[in-house]
Structure 1
């Protein structure tokens, strides 16, 4: 069985939030201070294990609405699905009807009635009736292990009677195996006692002890192995790493080793009906490559024969984790004007092959979108560099407005935009694209010719841009000029000299020839057409847009004085920054 749903009410920043989970890996992501730790603590309120006491909450943990006061109980409701017949028998009093004639188990935890110190009293029950308590047998059937952030994995692997390593040794041994170990330890103990160093040491201590206390008070002393039987051996067993004590190993690798031990112990545990591993910020102590290795493993944990499935809950604000995870595993926490809510990218409807394309394109840079408060999407790297400097010249710092500027590499907006909007991630999104008006027939039965509009002309949008406009809602807006990004820049007389200067850096002779040709034209549209065709519609050796964008961005950044920003780009920047646009 697995935890399918967790409803959280009145807890810290979470007024009413329902989190959906899947079997296997679940990655809860979101920016800082959005409530990821609250989700972890809600999980721990039911799934805490012997090593991790159930969390205690106070009146300070009760949700406080803006301008109001905290009141009411904290409530967590857990719904478990895919129950076996044995699970149904173990959780009989928690069963409720589910879809398709199946049964699910519902368990609730409530924190209320603070004592004089402000600590809330906890109550756990089954089903809808809080008079049906959660029994100790049920609680033992819910096995969970919590790994906190900045954890000391070496400490968790040190020898002790309750260590994860000791538990695993007990799980993987039967009585016959333990008896054989006991026999071998007894033989070893007897053999060691015959060696001179031990004999002389024992004689020295016993003699001194008798002379100190006398024959009547002296106790019987002997030297032997401290781990003289299986129980003591398990409590004193430790791991060596490349023949070194584990304390001398790196923090990152120690955390991976500790997770391996914990997952082995959980999977081998035959007694628990549910096994969960809760990992908070696994990126701590791990460089990006190890983060990727860990994520790949957690995404498809291999189970040997006889092992049980483990459900894994990970919270992270690392783009490395978000970029490597499958969309179905992600759970986003989003802060909106009405409070925090959840969003599952895996539930989004994409066009054919668009989901797969998005998962391929989600590198570390683009995965930033899951943590962004505001987003501007552009077609390529050149636009990405230029939008940033144009915004600065217009008086808007995208960084200070918490705007993430993300390139979709071409016209792949339809793989990204479905993640945003009124029914998805509620953050302001500006998509800047080209109008790309189609060629028109100027003379009957003659080839169609490209259009080079003037500023303010009404143009026919390309099919792709028109389709993008259909994604618009309160949060998502699409912005375009009259032709392409570079052409729209060239329509401005203040920007053309900078464009020619950037071109001269890349192709000096082409830049010099174009400068003369542009000067010879009359009107902004004609000059823009000549400059655009001379760079990007040449018979051969077109200027690379990425290189040109980088050179032009440097020219704009270094220019003293004000520069115009094309109106549609300025409108996009203002929408992303949430600055009111005059009507």
Structure 2
């Protein structure tokens, strides 16, 4: 088929004529004439008494199909002699096959529309090759568009089915159609064209920029948890496994397996609305997600007194502090005079959208879904502060993570833990100084200790989020 498409008719005729000449010459080889002579001798003995027969060994007249069937594609790395395909990886062999099929698209201009169907093109390809392949397929479709006033339109439409977030992230959402089981009872398939979800232009642009390889997993997920930042994304799975879903009963073991299938997505901001609309807007009677949990912070306003900044004595230096105890066995000490950082008021702190929980509830009403589909978990303050669960010993693990970043700040941590409301005090200091801690590193240090078996209690709002993600109202 490829040779018929790629080779002109005159060239095919010449090719067949040359093949015939070559075969005619090959018939004169002793290996062939010798066999013919031997057979002829015995045949003569058998037929001469009645009617003598003559035999001749020769090749069948060559045809393009037979010659093409004898050809073998070979391939190897550049500057290496091509070898049998069995010596190449399956991914490159698949690309070679696609490349041969694509040759047929050269004749798509003779038709109004050519559909190019590709099933799971990501098979056996590493991510870079997946991206290159998708770019190639997109180019084929885009280059095919032409004016059809003087002939067939010659348009090519590529339809690729995939489970790969690499490929899903390579195209705009307007070009993605999600196929999933129907939400209603009984067998059936739901088709959800993302282009039909009524997103504002800016919302769609934001989603298209957001859906990188990691985050595009939400297009494949049935249960999704959206979080504001890296700290929640790091800590939530560890808290779920080590502090929440810890039982040994069959149902609790099933919960742990169920949570493995939950996709935790870091939005990287508080602007959840575009992603909620993408996941929960109903198209053709179905939604992308069966279950959505959003974890957000209340970020309450600071009082006038709380907004006051604390100035560090520039003459104090680092000598005022003392070396913290070695190892992780001791509790944080409070004998240092060093503050972890100079508290500076965040001028943009008051611009935070407050009461985001209530805003999300309003959006839930607009979308016409209930709490069993869209669950909202709101931290009283913010994650790092609310990990200081009242009555728990969480301050030990949190203090060690804090002192990992500021080894001479035992006094400051002691002030936080010793206050009437440690969570509120920590929150105020976080708001007054963005440099108080590196939140990502703090989360990693806390997660490491929890995974190592240190005692820790999960805040209630995160317990509710984990419970909702495994479709249970209580644990």
Asked whether the two chains share a fold, i.e. TM above 0.5, the reply is yes
Tell me which protein shows more strand as a share of its residues: 1
Q: Is 1:381 equivalent to 2:227 in the alignment?
A: no
2:33 aligned with 1:203, yes or no? yes
- Tell me if structure 1 keeps the 8 A contact 2:226–2:294: yes
Contact 2:280–2:288 (Cα < 8 Å) also in 1: yes
Q: In structure 1, what is the equivalent of residue 165 of structure 2?
A: 319
Aligned-partner SS, 2:212: coil
Change (3 A) 1:287 1:461: closer
Find the counterpart in structure 1 of residue 128 from structure 2: 289
Per the TM alignment, residue 548 of structure 1 is displaced from its structure 2 partner at its CA by: 0.2
The alpha-carbon deviation at position 388 of structure 1 amounts to 2.0
Q: 2:244, 2:458 within 8 Å by CA — same for their partners in 1?
A: yes
Whether the aligned pair in 1 keeps the contact of 2:223 and 2:289 (CA below 8 Å) is: no
Of residues 416, 439, 457, the one that matches 1:545 is 439
C-alpha separation in 2, matches of 1:229 and 1:570: 72
User: What secondary structure is seen at the aligned counterpart in 2 of 1:419?
Assistant: helix
Q: 2:436 aligned with 1:436, yes or no?
A: no
Q: Show structure 2 runs of 5+ residues with no match.
A: 77-81, 147-151, 247-254, 307-344, 347-351
Residue aligning to 1:364: 213
Taking the aligned partners of 2:218 and 2:41, their CA distance within structure 1 comes to 78
Within 5 A, what are the aligned runs for 1:74-153?
A: none
1:398·1:404 contact (CA, 8 Å) conserved in 2?
A: no
Q: Distance in 2 between matches of 1:427 and 1:373?
A: 5
Q: 1:391 aligns with which of 232, 240, 262?
A: 240
Instruction: Note the 1:148-297 alignment, pairs <5 A.
Output: 167-189=1-23, 192-193=25-26, 199-214=29-44, 216-222=52-58, 228=62, 230=64, 232-242=66-76, 243-268=82-107, 274-297=113-136
Q: Which residue is equivalent to 2:258? A: 400
**1:568 CA drift (Å):** 2.2
Q: 1:181, CA displacement in angstroms?
A: 2.7
Cα RMSD between the aligned structures?
3.4
Q: How many angstroms apart in 1 are the aligned matches of 2:453 and 2:84?
A: 60
SS at match of 2:258: coil
- Structure 1 pair 531/435, CA: closer, same or farther in 2 (3 Å)? closer
The corresponding residue for 2:330 is: none
Task: Spell out, residue by residue over 1:110-153, the C-alpha distance to the aligned partner (whole angstroms, 9 max, x if none).
Answer: xxxxxxxxxxxxxxxxxxxxxxxxxxxxxxxxxxxxxxxxxxxx
Partner of 2:461: 568
Give the match for residue 270 of structure 2: 411
Aligned mates of 2:201, 2:256 — CA distance in 1: 33
> Are 1:327 and 1:346, in contact at CA under 8 Å, matched by a contact in 2?
yes
- Structure 1: runs of 5 or more not aligned: 1-166, 444-448, 451-459
* Structure 2 residue matching 1:353: 3-state secondary structure: helix
Where does residue 496 of structure 1 map in the other structure? Answer: 395
Give the whole-Å Cα distance in 1 for the aligned partners of 2:109 and 2:417: 82
Q: For each residue in 1:189-244, what CA deviation from the matched residue of structure 2 results, as whole angstroms up to 9, or x when unmatched?
A: 56x459xxx5332331222121221172341224x6x7845454344344332432
Q: Secondary structure at the match of 1:400?
A: helix
Q: 2:203 aligns with which of 315, 329, 354?
A: 354
Aligned counterparts, 1:432-581, within 5 A: 432-439=295-302, 462=354, 466-472=358-364, 473-474=369-370, 475-490=373-388, 492-494=390-392, 495-510=394-409, 512-521=410-419, 523-524=420-421, 527-534=422-429, 537-538=432-433, 541-559=435-453, 563-581=456-474
Aligned equivalent of 1:342, options 172, 179, 191: 191
How many residues of Structure 1 are paired with residues of Structure 2 in the alignment? 390
| Higher Rg | 2
Map of 1:140 onto structure 2: none
Contact 1:479 1:568 in 2 (8 A): yes
Deviation per CA, 1:405-463: give whole Å up to 9, x if none: 121122242332112225132411111111122445679xxxxx99xxxxxxxxx9617
The verdict on how the C-alpha distance between 1:536 and 1:266 changes in structure 2, with shifts beyond 3 A counting, is same
1:467–1:176: structure 2 CA closer, same or farther, 3 Å change rule?
same
* Separation (CA, whole Å) in 2 of partners of 1:517 and 1:442: 17
User: Displacement, 1:341?
Assistant: 2.0
The CA distance in 2 between the partners of 1:487 and 1:351, in whole Å, is: 35
Report the 3-state secondary structure (helix = DSSP H, G, I; strand = E; otherwise coil) of the residue aligned with 1:314: strand
- 1:334 and 1:426 in contact (8 A); partners too: no
Paired residue secondary structure (2:29): helix
Distance 1:442 1:535 in 2: 15
Q: Is the 8 A contact 1:490 1:532 kept in 2?
A: no
User: Once the 2 structures are TM-superposed, how far is the Cα of residue 491 of structure 1 from its aligned partner?
Assistant: 5.1
Of the structure 1 ranges 493-502 and 233-242, higher mean CA displacement relative to structure 2 is found in 233-242
Contact conserved, 1:331 with 1:344, CA < 8 A, in 2? yes
